[in-house]
Every structure is written in C-alpha cells, then in structure tokens.
Amino acid sequence: MTATLADGQLVLIIEDNEKNLKLARDLLRYHGFRTIEAPDAETGLRMASDAVPDIILMDIELPGMDGVTALECLRADPAIAGIVVVAFTASVMPVDQDRFSRAGFAGVIVKPIDVKVFPNQVLAYCRTAERDG
C-alpha cells in the first residue's frame, strides 16, 4: 500500500461541470482527501456552513451566483469567513487573476487540471490554512 498524500483534509468542490467535478473528486480521494461537492454557489455556501471544510475549490462561472459573489457571501459569515478559498477556473487572463486576488481568493488552480500536480496544489493550500488557522 502506498502512502497517501493527504491525511483526510476535507475539500469542498463547487463546480457545475460534471466531468471537471468527477476528475477533481476522484483525484483528491485517491490521494487521501475527503470531498464534498456542490453544483452551484448557493448549495456550496450551505455545505460550507454545515461541514466547515479545510479548503474550498470554487469555480467562477457558476449557474446563478458566480464564484466571486459567493466568496463575498462566505467572507460575510463569521462562522466560515476563515476558510481558504481557491478559484478553480479556466479564466487565466492576467485581468482575471488580478480580479480573483482582489476578491480575496487564496490563489488559482487552472482548469483543465494537471493531474500530476493538482493533489499537491490542493495540499499546499491546506497546509497554508493549517498554518494561518
């Protein structure tokens, strides 16, 4: 048995594209993370409040409320304001990166994800959360 990368950190994936969601979930679970998933921001915010995950991977282009607005709502709730939130997006223009940074995202993981580096990227954000928490 190989050693897993993570030790059960809980990752909330808010992603409306089923293929992207499945790939992220399967990769993270394979590497020892626990995951919960939401197809839209409203559901994701409720799940964040209920489960208080270690990290949230937030798609930006979501049905209904977008990821930036969802982050603003999350930051307005003291119970979950401290959760590390990473933009999980295909929007990689410098203007987008700047907008995500100003909005308060901890960073950006670009889609399509690189299956070799993705689990380590997520783990690095979890470790940042543990240090800052």
Place of tokens 């897993």: 4
Mean pLDDT calculated for residue range 14-19: 97
More confident residue, 88 or 2: 88
| Contacting residues for 34 by C-beta, under 8 A, at least 6 apart | 8, 9, 10, 11
- b/e code 97-132 from CB counts within 10 Å (16+ = b): beebeebebbebbebebeeeebbebbbebbeebeee
pLDDT of 1 reads 43
Tens-place pLDDT, residues 34-54: 999 999 999 999 999 999 999
Confidence of residue 84 (pLDDT cuts 50, 70, 90): very high
Domain range summary for the chain, segments of one domain joined by +: 10-132
Task: Sort strands 55-58 and 84-89 into parallel, antiparallel or unpaired.
Answer: parallel
Asked if the peptide bond before residue 78 counts as cis, ω within 30 degrees of 0, the response is no
Cα(24)–Cα(101) distance, integer angstroms:
22
φ, ψ of residue 68 in degrees (nearest 5)? -70, -45
Confidence of residue 4 (pLDDT cuts 50, 70, 90): confident
The domain made up of 10-132 has a fold known as: Rossmann fold (3.40.50)
What percent of the chain lies above the pLDDT cut of 70? 97
- Does pLDDT of 82 surpass 60? yes
Tens-place pLDDT, residues 48-80: 999 999 999 999 999 999 999 999 999 999 999
N-terminal to C-terminal alpha carbon distance within the chain: 32
| Contacting residues for 127 by C-beta, under 8 A, at least 6 apart | none
What percent of the chain lies above the pLDDT cut of 90? 86
